[in-house]
Amino acid sequence: MHIWGISPGAFFGLLFCSGIVLSAIFAPLITPYGEAEIVGGVWEPISQKHWLGTDNLGRDLLSRIIYGARTTLTIAAAATLVSFTLGAALGMIAAEAGGFVDQFMSRCVDLLMSIPTLIFALVVLSVMPGTILTLILVMGILDSTRVYRLARAVAVDIRVMDYVEAAKLRGEGRAWIILHEILPNAISTLIAEFGLRFIFMVLFLSALSFLGLGIQPPEADWGGMVKENKAGIVFGIPAALAPAAMIAMLAISVNLIADWILNRTSSLRGKSADA
């Protein structure tokens, strides 16, 4: 059963993601308490006053989750845009240029990929200013190596197609070929990968915050909230599970949307080819 041409899984994903995004945008208007406001005792249970209880300092957990969504989504989206802008551009340039340029860029990427991403990020962030801009740039640049590999692989396959050869015979330049021939035919794969990389950025940010080098208190993000409340799990207090569940639900929702978009674009391409 499809709703408005959207599969049930994608509809659920869109509904959940839309709710999270709208909640993040209007967080100051819909949250019952402030982001860092102490409004009760430590780890109070769920009640009419606190729908998800309170955290390790007595702050309203629901308000913290909504504010945390704003921080988590903004940083993850910005880092993903940096990653895709840099990685896709360099990957397609390398594929189209070929030869020494391709080999040099690919070996540099291999060198970066040989270092575990999380360890590399921890080292860099420990010696650089702990600002949000630094965090976004470090996450985006480190993840761009994965996007580079995908974009280059897709572009290598596309550049040998007849329509690309025809464009070269017409005298079109490399920039024109990349923008008008390679990129449009690689866009569906890149869109699907964008969703996966976005979720990776959410998890990456959460891991950095959990280790103390991501978002700093009292500002909220989901990974930091798990760290703040992890001690309560030993006593059967589920305060750390709520932000962890939000991360899991977001990952599932975005993947459902990305899969639907990939299937949709692939089927449309198949129909146009048959025509």
Question: Would you kindly state where each structural domain of the chain is located, as residue ranges?
Answer: 69-274
Which residues lie below 8 Å from residue 253, measured CB to CB, with a gap of 6+? Answer: 12, 13, 14, 16, 17
pLDDT at residue 76, as a whole number? 94
Q: Examine the pLDDT at 106 and tell me if it is beyond 50.
A: yes
Q: Examine the pLDDT at 17 and tell me if it is beyond 90.
A: yes
Confidence of residue 253 (pLDDT cuts 50, 70, 90): very high
pLDDT in tens, 217-238: 888 899 999 999 998 988 888 8
Q: Which residue has the tokens 């996007």?
A: 147
Average pLDDT over residues 3-19: 84
pTM greater than the 0.75 cutoff: yes
DSSP state of 161: S
Confidence of residue 268 (pLDDT cuts 50, 70, 90): very low
Confidence of residue 145 (pLDDT cuts 50, 70, 90): very high
Q: Examine the pLDDT at 74 and tell me if it is beyond 60.
A: yes
pLDDT in tens, 153-176: 999 998 888 888 888 888 888 888
pLDDT at residue 5, as a whole number? 67
Q: Is 102 exposed, middle or buried (0-12, 13-18, 19+ CB in 10 A)?
A: middle
Average pLDDT over residues 244-269: 81
> Mean pLDDT score of the chain, rounded to an integer?
88
Instruction: Tell me how far apart the alpha carbons of residues 229 and 176 are, in angstroms, rounded to a whole number.
Output: 52
Instruction: Tell me how far apart the alpha carbons of residues 248 and 11 are, in angstroms, rounded to a whole number.
Output: 17
Q: Examine the pLDDT at 61 and tell me if it is beyond 50.
A: yes
Q: Is 98 exposed, middle or buried (0-12, 13-18, 19+ CB in 10 A)?
A: exposed
Which residues lie below 8 Å from residue 165, measured CB to CB, with a gap of 6+? Answer: none
pLDDT in tens, 23-38: 999 999 999 999 989 9
Q: Does domain 69-274 have CATH number 3.60.40.10?
A: no
